[in-house]
Structure 1
Amino acid sequence: MIGEQGDGESVGTSAGNKRCRNKQQAGKDVAVQGTNDSSIVSKCSMASLGYFNDGFLKGFVNKTTRRAPLINRGYYVRAKAVDYSLHCFLQKTASYSQRQILSLGAGFDSLYFRLKASGELENVIVYEVDFPDVVQRKATLIKNKQEFMELIGCMNEIKPAQMDNLYLCGLDYKLLGIDMTEIVDLDNLLMETGLNPACPTLLLSEVVLTYMRDASSSAVIHWAANRFSSAIFVVYEQIRPDDPFGQVMQQHFTHLNSTLHALTQFPGKEAQRKRFLSEGWEECHCIDMNEFYTGFIPEQEKRRIEMLEPFDEYEEWHLKCSHYLILSASKGDLKTCLSFHPPPDFHAIKLDTFDPLWICVSPCEIESENPLLRRFAHCSSLIAPNIVLISGGFGSRAGHHGRLRGATLMTKSGPVWKCSFVGNEGSIHLLTERMFHSMTSFCDSCCVIFGGRTSPLKPVTSVLLLKCEVGDGTISSISLSVKEIECIGTAPSPRWRHTATEVIYKGQRYLFIYGGRSPKEMVLNDWHFLNLEDYSWADIPVIGPTPESRHSHSACSWKGGVLIAGGLGATQIPLASVFHLRPTQSGFFWNRIEVTGSFIPRYSHTAHILDDKLFLLGGVTIYSDSIPEVTLIDLKTGQSLDYHINTNLVKWPVMLHNHSSVLLVKERQVLVVGGGGNCFSFGTHLNHQPVLLQLPEIK
């Protein structure tokens, strides 16, 4: 900002400019305060559904609103991380005669009332600080509720000099209204209200420091390190601003006029750790929320959470968790009180950034923009040369988001692709809404659609056969017909997030259906063969080491069999295993492909095989500081190479999950259609148009 040096005014700034800046800052402060109102509604939704036990949150909202399962889970893991920190502090300091909790930017948090009601605040004084307007509203809500006032008990009549900043003063609860950028005034107010720098203190900041300019937030961190002799500073806030999810996250807060300042200079865990150490803290540890959920939430508790409401947004859940951290900085007697370390089996992997390999990505040249190309959880299939069929998924429809029906065709003429929608013509009406299904093309421009769901409680059971008559190759000459197949024999259980791949056994084509999930089972580990001649379910012997249960994996036809890679396992941990189901004289045999090099576990990716090279495109992981953009695995040697994608030619964040892709062999390109999803509470991001990845020439 012009005329700014740190957080102070530069010499020569006019009084008019100062007033303008103060007005702008006031507007930003109001916007930041607004995040409290949204947050408390989400916290209340999460608690009311049984994720977290806190009956006091509803006292701070006028009306409860049920949030989406993804948001409920996000606020649940935040509450658990903060609660874990609180209890570590309370247990470690139980023998002390006086202890303190200082919540900075407390908003409408119910921490004091929850802990007081459960009898956990013996010898503890809780101080809460926030903007005066927020604190005034909170004080009014508290005073109007008898159960709150009974927990606070006797009000202290001793008034500090700055009594305008003190809104509630109980024996063990102080509610203070002050701008934290005024660090001297903050310190004076806290001292006057009884804060004791010599006794053990927990400082808590949940998505607060990042809204402050770096100089101001660093001043708070430095002040706390100097002021308290024995303390822990716990911080929960955003990280990783530069990947596509991080870009959407930043855009959201910028749009709200609540810029996340800390992300520029302190974008990741290591930068945050070094920041606190440089400001005077003796120890500092931090992990992202994937690491916290994996290592600090018991398995029984995870199973309980999974049963609370239907959930099928794994990609967005893991992406959200990878973009938030929980940090503990400590000093003095509390130096070892709270340490956040990744789980023992959680080995973070970093892509090679010293001499990275790059793949060029460019927008697909479309004759005219078509919103139907913006979708996720759909399928795409090359049904004839230069003709791509797209079905299902969730995306743009008549100006709104929703599940999509019908079919969309893309045809290539020269470098340009044309797009058209096929709706209710003839039998196309059978292409009803479905997500996370499979669409497998085979001979004579035919496709089989299997599985999918409309919601996590409603799988789609119909099996459809699509036939395409190409004509002269123009869109107007292409006709589609659809019919429902009556399969012979015992059908597999309904499922989605599975794969269906063509395999050859004794000269006959079969559809090999593997894995997925269902309404009753979080992950499936069975497989089935559908004869593509008479559409009968066949019993073909399969031996060898069975792959781990998985869904959202990839599958490619290879050497008459199928190559399975990655996926999300039974414990909701991404997998890195690769299996080849190869045909034998008497059936099929599972053979594990040993991969050397850094193969990052992933799921929700796509895959293609070219020249005995397996290309894995995108996906979601919980192990890496970088998304696994493209990985090449040499199927002859097992060697793997990671590639970054160069998106300079693309003007929007490219999300490579929940997408579909088609291999264009002649051009050595992959056409990526759709992708993206619900980015937590930051809105839905759908890739604007298809892109082309140029595959490298590797001998």
Structure 2
Amino acid sequence: MLPPSPQPISRRVERTQDADAAIRQTDSDAALARLSAVKKGYLTDSFIGHLVPRSQLQLPRPPLINVGTYVRSYSIDHLVEEWISISKQEHKPCQIVSLGAGSDTRFWRIATGPYNDYLRVYAELDFPEVTVKKAMSIRKSKQLSTVLGPPENVSLAQGGLALHSPKYHLLPCDLRKPPSEILPSLLGDIISPSSPTLLLFECVLVYMSPEASSNLIQWFVDYFQSSAVSPNPGVLGAIVYEMFGLQDSFGQVMMNNLRSRNVSLIGALPYPSVQTLPERFTRHNFTMSKALTLREIREKFIPKPELARISALEMLDEVEELNLVLDHYAITWGVDLDPTPELSSVGWTQWGMRTARGLPDGHESR
């Protein structure tokens, strides 16, 4: 959650030779942050240690990073669980497609929880260098591989870059390429346009050009709109977590520190404020889109007993700095009901974060 520290000159030169390596490193940073938050008691995740090399030797992160990681996880967990809950109410098992999934453990947490029966498919897409390492970690870990099902139903593909099981699919690709060239062959036989489908973008679109990210979202919109002739058309939802509003002095520090690691946040430029974030979806004619900063979520949406619990875990001295960081990260979510207007009166339009009093909230656009 903190702006990364500048790297030594020798490492900067090495990283400039492969810009994608620097982007992939941000996933390692996030995995280590999550591992730290789990070890400190902020989060419960028995799977993350299997995806972090030498996890038992990793040092804890500062309290500020632990708190930020907790708020991020709380927000996305809440929205995903709400999505699956609505799918359950509608008697429609859902699909989740995580783009730029990295070392995420969400599939395993869902598959071992109360919502497993309502998950039809879970697909993860990322760079081949990421998927091959994750596939190897899954095969080496009995705890991870057992969740996928009987060994005879789990297979590697594309020389170990991809992995398939009855519900879980790990797929290699470069999301910056034209979606029409990569997604049909990857997802065509996996996801159904007739099932409610949730897209997850956790810190991925911010590293892509606005044009590339827009094309990616539009491909899914077109895919589900083409199902309008189906007797049971699906609903498309999406969640984005990333930085925004980087034009101020704090944002410039974040961008400069990342530039020193050869990472550019070109996808953040069109979004100078939280009010502009819903435009990511409304420009694609989503029925509803809302956004909240992580600071708003921490202050208004996390129950007070839970805030008291995490406050007791570590002493946090940098409250002002924490608020600055949380003010530059946001969760944006949206629903596209256009192919299925008859569903507009049910739970999908109410999907979202709820305040500690149970009321829906968020900056909205249409």
Corresponding residue number in structure 2 for 1:79: 73
Equivalent in 15, 26, 29 of residue 35 of structure 1: 26
Q: How far did 1:179 drift?
A: 0.6
Equivalent in 49, 54, 75 of residue 45 of structure 2: 54
Any conservation in 1 of the 2:22–2:262 contact (CA below 8 Å)?
A: yes
Counterparts of 1:1-400 in structure 2 under 5 Å? 27-61=18-52, 62-63=54-55, 64-95=58-89, 96-124=91-119, 125-154=121-150, 163=158, 167-182=162-177, 183-228=179-224, 229-332=234-337, 333=343, 335-340=348-353
- CA distance in structure 1 between the aligned counterparts of 2:152 and 2:198, rounded to whole angstroms: 23
Q: How far did 1:299 drift?
A: 0.3
State the secondary structure of the residue aligned to 1:265: coil
Any conservation in 1 of the 2:302–2:356 contact (CA below 8 Å)?
A: no
Any conservation in 2 of the 1:156–1:171 contact (CA below 8 Å)?
A: no
Q: How far did 1:119 drift?
A: 3.6
- CA distance in structure 1 between the aligned counterparts of 2:22 and 2:279, rounded to whole angstroms: 29
State the secondary structure of the residue aligned to 1:204: strand
Q: How far did 1:254 drift?
A: 1.5
Deviates more, 1:190-199 or 1:86-95: 190-199
Identity of aligned residues (%): 29
CA shift digits 1:255-289 (9 cap, x unpaired): 22111112222222222212321123221100111
Q: 1:264 to 1:165 in 2, by over 3 A?
A: farther
State the secondary structure of the residue aligned to 1:249: helix
Q: How far did 1:36 drift?
A: 0.8
State the secondary structure of the residue aligned to 1:281: coil
Runs of 5+ consecutive residues of structure 2 not aligned to the other structure: 1-14, 225-233, 338-342, 358-366
- CA distance in structure 1 between the aligned counterparts of 2:149 and 2:256, rounded to whole angstroms: 44
- CA distance in structure 1 between the aligned counterparts of 2:276 and 2:126, rounded to whole angstroms: 26
Counterparts of 1:410-429 in structure 2 under 5 Å? none
Any conservation in 2 of the 1:70–1:313 contact (CA below 8 Å)?
A: yes
Q: Segments of 4+ in structure 1 off by > 4 A?
A: 155-160, 162-166, 340-344
Q: 1:159 to 1:45 in 2, by over 3 A?
A: closer
Q: 1:145 to 1:227 in 2, by over 3 A?
A: same
Q: 1:158 to 1:207 in 2, by over 3 A?
A: closer
Any conservation in 2 of the 1:89–1:337 contact (CA below 8 Å)?
A: no
Q: 1:113 to 1:319 in 2, by over 3 A?
A: same
Q: How far did 1:163 drift?
A: 4.2
Q: How far did 1:74 drift?
A: 0.8
- CA distance in structure 1 between the aligned counterparts of 2:263 and 2:298, rounded to whole angstroms: 27
Q: How far did 1:191 drift?
A: 3.1
Q: How far did 1:156 drift?
A: 7.1
Higher relative contact order (CA 8 A, sep 6+): 2
- CA distance in structure 1 between the aligned counterparts of 2:163 and 2:133, rounded to whole angstroms: 12
- CA distance in structure 1 between the aligned counterparts of 2:302 and 2:187, rounded to whole angstroms: 37
Q: Higher helix proportion, which one? A: 2
Q: How far did 1:29 drift?
A: 1.4
Q: 1:131 to 1:117 in 2, by over 3 A?
A: same
State the secondary structure of the residue aligned to 1:93: helix
Corresponding residue number in structure 2 for 1:545: none
- CA distance in structure 1 between the aligned counterparts of 2:163 and 2:175, rounded to whole angstroms: 18
Runs of 5+ consecutive residues of structure 1 not aligned to the other structure: 1-23, 345-699
Q: How far did 1:335 drift?
A: 4.2
AA aligned to 1:81 is: S
- CA distance in structure 1 between the aligned counterparts of 2:153 and 2:257, rounded to whole angstroms: 44
- CA distance in structure 2 between the aligned counterparts of 1:165 and 1:261, rounded to whole angstroms: 31
Counterparts of 1:362-511 in structure 2 under 5 Å? none
CA shift digits 1:69-97 (9 cap, x unpaired): 00100111001011011111111111434
AA aligned to 2:73 is: A
Any conservation in 1 of the 2:301–2:353 contact (CA below 8 Å)?
A: no
CA shift digits 1:132-158 (9 cap, x unpaired): 100000110110011111100135769
- CA distance in structure 2 between the aligned counterparts of 1:26 and 1:340, rounded to whole angstroms: 41
- CA distance in structure 2 between the aligned counterparts of 1:197 and 1:143, rounded to whole angstroms: 30
CA shift digits 1:367-412 (9 cap, x unpaired): xxxxxxxxxxxxxxxxxxxxxxxxxxxxxxxxxxxxxxxxxxxxxx
Q: How far did 1:321 drift?
A: 0.8
Corresponding residue number in structure 2 for 1:562: none
Corresponding residue number in structure 1 for 2:364: none
Q: How far did 1:324 drift?
A: 0.5
Any conservation in 1 of the 2:244–2:272 contact (CA below 8 Å)?
A: yes
Q: How far did 1:217 drift?
A: 0.8
Q: Higher strand proportion, which one? A: 1
CA shift digits 1:464-488 (9 cap, x unpaired): xxxxxxxxxxxxxxxxxxxxxxxxx
Q: 1:157 to 1:298 in 2, by over 3 A?
A: closer
Q: TM-score, normalised by structure 2?
A: 0.82
- CA distance in structure 2 between the aligned counterparts of 1:167 and 1:192, rounded to whole angstroms: 15
State the secondary structure of the residue aligned to 1:257: coil
- RMSD over aligned CA atoms reads 2.4
Q: TM-score, normalised by structure 1?
A: 0.44
AA aligned to 2:295 is: N
Any conservation in 2 of the 1:154–1:171 contact (CA below 8 Å)?
A: no
Q: What is the number of equivalent residue pairs in this alignment?
A: 320
Q: 1:254 to 1:342 in 2, by over 3 A?
A: farther
Any conservation in 2 of the 1:291–1:342 contact (CA below 8 Å)?
A: no
Any conservation in 1 of the 2:302–2:355 contact (CA below 8 Å)?
A: no
Any conservation in 2 of the 1:45–1:66 contact (CA below 8 Å)?
A: yes
